Structure 1
Amino acid sequence: MSESARATRRPTMADVAREAGVSLSTVDRVLNLRADVRRDTAQRIVEAATRLGFHAKAVLEQRLLTHRPTVRLGFALHKSGVAFYQVLAQALSSAAAHYPHARIRVVIAYLDELDPARVAQRIAALRDQVDGLGVVAVDHPVIRQAVARLSDSGVAVVALISALSPAATAGYVGVDNRRMGRTAGWFVSRLANRPGPVAVLLSSQGFQCQELREFSFRSYLADQSPDWDLLATRLTLEDDAFAHGNTLDLLTGEPELAGLYVAGGGIAGVIQALGELKARQQRLPIVVCNEVTPLTAHALRDGLVHAVLSHPVAALAERTVDALVQAVTGARPVAGLVAIVPMQVDVQESL
């Protein structure tokens, strides 16, 4: 056969077998569902068919999809009433629904309790419901123990947003929180008229992510100038009413406050307080917070907040689902996994 004829003829099953490095009968088994074929072998055949432009490529791809394993994934998120966690839950469900290599059943649970013992009980209760678990929780000994027991029982666990200590044997998927804290410091140092008092609001110092953001924020400003007055950290307890009162107390007690970094939850209460003081025409500090939501986006547009540093929710969800499925199917363990997603930065002009 001439080269021109070979170039114009349609690829055959034999061509696909040769390209994939398998036998013709193996391609036939995948195409006609005659017997089980290892998933990696079937994937190689589909890739070869794609490269060659094989006319039955779509059929091969569908055969691969029909052999997807079924995996049960749970996600224990923090605070059901917080907009960010509602958006994250939707993104995780969507990532699971569109995951190409497994059929995924999703269980969403919310850890509305701050008490570590109650949170540990909720995590332990998911053991028989899931094969893999993504969890947002404080790094407390009883929670680490609950997660470690879950891992010992064969459930793959990944910490989302905030890492857990190595004793928990959980992987981590989230942003680089050190970089996030230093970025918040960068915004304050560049946007404030001059160095002055600055404050940090946290939900709880039990979250590794918030502890690291706070330390990095303070470290950055201290490196920039000794004239920054780093005030004592205040808590919001993830409670909007408490955050509102604490913010009012801070801003009325420190009228020259140059910068405020809200490194944790309770942002609705903080924004409410900022709005009230703006209505009184009181001077406001440069404010940086975390996680873009309709509320924080509105605050950006109104000038109450100057920058929002966020997890890219879709990317976070996709990396988490993939890490858990890979662990559950034995392809890659999560112990020691650190998957960093790029930080999202929003300012008024970017919306």
Structure 2
Amino acid sequence: MRPTTKDLAKAAGVSLATVDRVLNNRPGVRKKTVKAVNEAIEKIGFVRNLSAANLAKSKRYRFRFMLPRRGDLFISELRERISETDRGLAAEGIEISHQEISQADPHLIARTLLKLSPDKVDGIALMAPESPQVRDAAIRLQEKGVQVVHLISGQLEMSDMDFVGIDNRAAGATAARLIGRFICGQQGKVMVVSETMNARDSLERRHGFDQVLRQDYPNLIALPSLETHGDQSRAQEIVLNTLRNNQDVIAAYIMSSEARSPLNALHCRTDPGELVVIAHELTERTRSALLNKEVDAIIAQNPGHLVRSSVRLLRARCDNREIMQSQEQIRIEILIQENLIPDGFAASYSAQ
């Protein structure tokens, strides 16, 4: 039979109350006693039944997703999956919410984070551009006892914090490989479009993209990154100007998760199939673009998996449990017209 807390108390030579304080990291226990309990845990193979303990204490977890206020279709998809996961985990004592934050002002993001406290929230999944202000605020938040995971776009100098998302450098390299294969040796330029290059995911995708293009496809030249800032009129202007000034553009790589604006701009200027186009994330707009041959392939990550993985990581950190890394690896998925999930089954993709 599995050792109980009574067995642990007997093996450590302490009371049940002391065992409870050690297991729950409560103050008032001498280091010598903590060491004795931990040694007894190893000796008898004690494994705590966290579900039973949480049920007995009516423990609840409060997790919040901090998402960009200026988001479009992909962010809407994430919000839907957050609500879906909240409903699914309510019986397990897990409350999941989301909050919009401004992406343009790192000082405002930092102030928003610092207003959070352990009496309001147990953990956050943060999707925000990289900046020293956001980095420092996230560190201080963890020091206060609020767990933090970085969602989709991580902070380079915060490798000790958990990250949920695809390997963005590998995603950019994948885009370069696809374009190189689809182009079939033609000479020309590649237009690269992002919402902002302040985001770590876009920076890493660009690095991976350039590395493969320079190494294996000398026939292709990648142009400097264009930033739309999520503005349709700006996207239209910079895309049209680039195509007007570079008649030899034969491909386009849309790096950011929100592809609607650059795709609409390209649609106004080019015919379907005229350019090889690779975009990120499966949304209503990229789906229709793939079906209409405006896009040749989509590099996607499952939004449902992103949300559930964030929740599992936050809960494990709150419980001081070991993380099953293989379960939290987000796959890079390549979608083409032939393997696109039928529209009626789009919801099942996110629920996988």
From 93, 105, 111, the equivalent of 1:103 is: 93
Residues 1:295 and 2:285 aligned together: yes
Structure 1 partner of 2:253: 261
> Please, which of 65, 69, 78 is the counterpart of residue 88 of structure 1?
78
* Residue 252 (structure 1) shift: 2.4
* 1:240 correspondence with 2:232: yes
Whether the 8 Å contact between 2:228 and 2:235 is mirrored in structure 1 is yes
Distance 2:206 2:327 in 1: 21
In the alignment of these two chains, the number of paired residues is 303
Q: How does 1:1-351 map to 2 (within 5 A)?
A: 18=1, 20=2, 43=49, 66-67=55-56, 69-79=59-69, 81-99=71-89, 102-127=92-117, 129-167=120-158, 170-193=161-184, 194-278=186-270, 281=271, 284-332=274-322, 339-351=328-340
**TM-score computed with the length of structure 2 as normaliser:** 0.76
With normalisation by structure 1, the TM-score equals 0.76
Aligned mates of 2:272, 2:319 — CA distance in 1: 57
8 Å CA contact 2:276–2:295 kept in 1: the answer is yes
Any gaps of 5 or more consecutive residues in structure 2?
A: 6-19, 25-45, 341-352
| Conserved? CA contact 1:203–1:238, under 8 Å | yes
Distance 1:323 1:143 in 2: 20
The structure that has the greater radius of gyration is 1
Contact 1:102 1:325 in 2 (8 A): no
Superposition deviation, residue 290 in structure 1: 0.8
Aligned twin of 2:33: none
The superposition leaves residues 133-166 of structure 1 with CA deviations (integer Å, 9 ceiling, x where unpaired) of: 1001111011111111111111100000011133
Quote the Cα distance in structure 2 between the aligned partners of 1:118 and 1:209.
21
C-alpha deviations, 1:251-274, integer Å up to 9, x for none?
222232122111115522211112
Three-state SS of the structure 2 residue aligned to 1:182 is helix
Query: Contact 1:80/1:86 (CA < 8 Å) preserved in 2?
Result: no
Partners of 1:202 and 1:263 within 8 A in 2? yes
SS state at 1:258 partner: strand
Q: Distance in 2 between matches of 1:65 and 1:131?
A: 14
User: Which digits, 9 at most, give the CA deviation of each residue in 1:105-151, with x for residues without a partner?
Assistant: 22311123412112222222333531101001111011111111111
Q: Distance in 2 between matches of 1:283 and 1:102?
A: 49
State the secondary structure of the residue aligned to 2:249: coil
Name the CA distance, whole Å, in 1 between partners of 2:168 and 2:308: 19
RMSD: 3.3
- Cα distance between partner residues in 1 of 2:106 and 2:3: 54
Distance in structure 2 (CA, Å) of the matches to 1:282 and 1:310: 21
Is 2:73–2:258's contact at 8 Å kept on the other side of the alignment?
A: no
CA deviation profile, 1:30-89 (whole Å, cap 9, x unmatched):
xxxxxxx99986859xxxxxxxxxxxxxxxx9x788446201111101235411112112
